[in-house]
Amino acid sequence: MILLDGKALSQKIKEEIKHKSKELKTKGIEPCLAVILVGTDPASETYVNNKAKACELCGIKSLVYKLDESTTQNELLALINTLNYDDSVDGILVQLPLPKHINKNLILESIASSKDVDGFHPINVGYLNLGLESGFLPCTPLGVMKLLKSYDIKIEGLDCVVIGASNIVGRPMATLLLNADASVSVCHIKTRDLNFYTQKADLIISATGCAHLLKADMVKEGVIVVDVGITRIGNSLVGDVDFKEVSKKASYITPVPGGVGPMTIAMLLENTIKSAKNRLSNFATF
Ligand code: GUN
């Protein structure tokens, strides 16, 4: 069994990003990511703080807007509009989930697709579904693909099962795998017989947040397992996979923590650098 070490790979990527930020600065561009948090959800607050910290460590300017829970939809739209037109801002990220009185889809559509480093805007979702690389790809699925690639795992022709059909992870993950010529099944909360799918799978990617959902008797010998789930139980973080047992059968498996999580942040930084490079090439055309 080989551990898919996202922490180590993300550190390597972050070193490369530091160099790219430096290079952009010599050309007059300071890469900049704006992160907006509405409300005080503790998990979201931790994610936002981690994103800001990672930016600063890699030479990317971070603007963090922590807005009150009572912020209106129009106030949030006004802030996004200001950031859309601010030429010094390369990326805009609105942390999800949003409070119930705010229409999430409306907010995600209001972010300029050229600054949508989360890859959630319908234009970027469209590029992904067309198999085009011109837009931004969602950070977690992109991080999973990079992690698999770094271990030379070939996706083409594999029988893949994605568990979870969210817009943030499951759906874009399935699309990236399909774009890489895998056969893909997407399972979700209404799937009647999860075992039927997982037992045949060469590659399983689980993103449900159900602690220890995937047990050893649900997988075949030699399976590749990527665990995107994170559940806090007491003081420890637990994935969707019963790691102790499943790792005995797996050929490759991600740990939780230290697997997919650090890759997500590294991809957010990469997308921000990509946007800053686009800013540079737009300058060059004037
Ligand atoms: N909430 C959970 N994951 C994410 C993510 O990748 N991006 C944003 N904006 N919010 C999230």
Q: Domain containing 86 — which CATH number?
A: 3.40.50.10860
Q: Are residues 147 and 89 in the same domain?
A: no
Same domain, 106 and 202: no
The residues, ordered by sequence, that sit 6+ positions from 270 with a Cβ below 8 Å of its Cβ are 13, 17, 142
Verify that 208 and 97 share a domain, yes or no: no
Same domain, 103 and 143: no
164 and 232 belong to one structural domain: yes
Is the CB–ligand 1 distance for residue 174 below 6 Å?
A: no
The number of the ligand 1 atom at minimal distance from the alpha carbon of 138 is 6
pLDDT of residue 140: 98
Does position 7 have pLDDT exceeding 80, yes or no? Answer: yes
Known catalytic residue at 149: no
- Rounded distance between C-alpha atoms, residue 10 and residue 38, angstroms: 28
**What is the spatial distance between Cα 143 and Cα 267, in angstroms, rounded to a whole number?**
6
Same domain, 163 and 244: yes
Same domain assignment for residues 41 and 100: yes
Residue 253 lies in a domain: yes
Tell me: do 239 and 153 sit in the same domain: yes
Give me the pLDDT at residue 285, please. Answer: 59
Whether 90 is in the pocket of ligand 1, judged by its Cβ within 6 Å, is no
Look at residue 2 and tell me if it is in a domain. no
Over 90: is that where the pLDDT of 240 sits?
Answer: yes
Amino acid identity of 285? T
What is the total count of domains within the chain? 2
118 among known catalytic residues: yes
**Ligand 1 probe mutation, 144, 168, 171, most atoms within 8 A of CB:** 168
Question: From the CB of 118, is ligand 1 less than 6 Å away?
Answer: yes
Domain co-membership, 61 together with 163: no
Name the band, by pLDDT with cuts 50, 70 and 90, for residue 265.
Answer: very high
Catalytic residue among 116, 118, 227, 242: 118
Q: Which amino acid is at 136?
A: F
pLDDT, tens only, 92-124 = 999 999 999 999 999 999 999 999 999 999 999
Report pLDDT digits (tens) over 195-221: 999 999 999 999 999 999 999 999 999
Query: What pLDDT band is residue 282 in, cutting at 50, 70 and 90?
Result: confident
Residue 224 bridge partners (DSSP): 203, 252
User: Three-state SS across 263-284?
Assistant: HHHHHHHHHHHHHHHHHHHHHH
Q: Own/partner pairs for 130-138, CB < 8 Å, 24+ apart?
A: 131/179, 136/271, 136/274, 136/275, 137/172, 137/176, 137/267, 137/271, 138/168, 138/169, 138/172
Q: Is the pLDDT of residue 286 over 60?
A: no
Direct distance between the N- and C-terminal alpha carbons of the chain, in angstroms, rounded to an integer: 53
Pull the structure tokens for residue 117: 């480093």
For residue 138, how far is its CA from the centre of ligand 1 (angstroms)?
9
pLDDT band at 133 (very low <50, low <70, confident <90, very high): confident
In a domain, 283, yes or no: no
Q: Is 144 in the pocket of ligand 1 (CB under 6 A)?
A: no
The residue segments making up the domain with residue 175 are: 139-261
- What confidence score (pLDDT) does residue 173 get? 98
Question: For the whole model, what pTM was predicted?
Answer: 0.97
159 within a domain of the structure (yes/no)? yes
Which domain CATH number covers 195?
3.40.50.720
Q: Is the dihedral of CA 6, 12, 15, 16 positive or negative?
A: negative
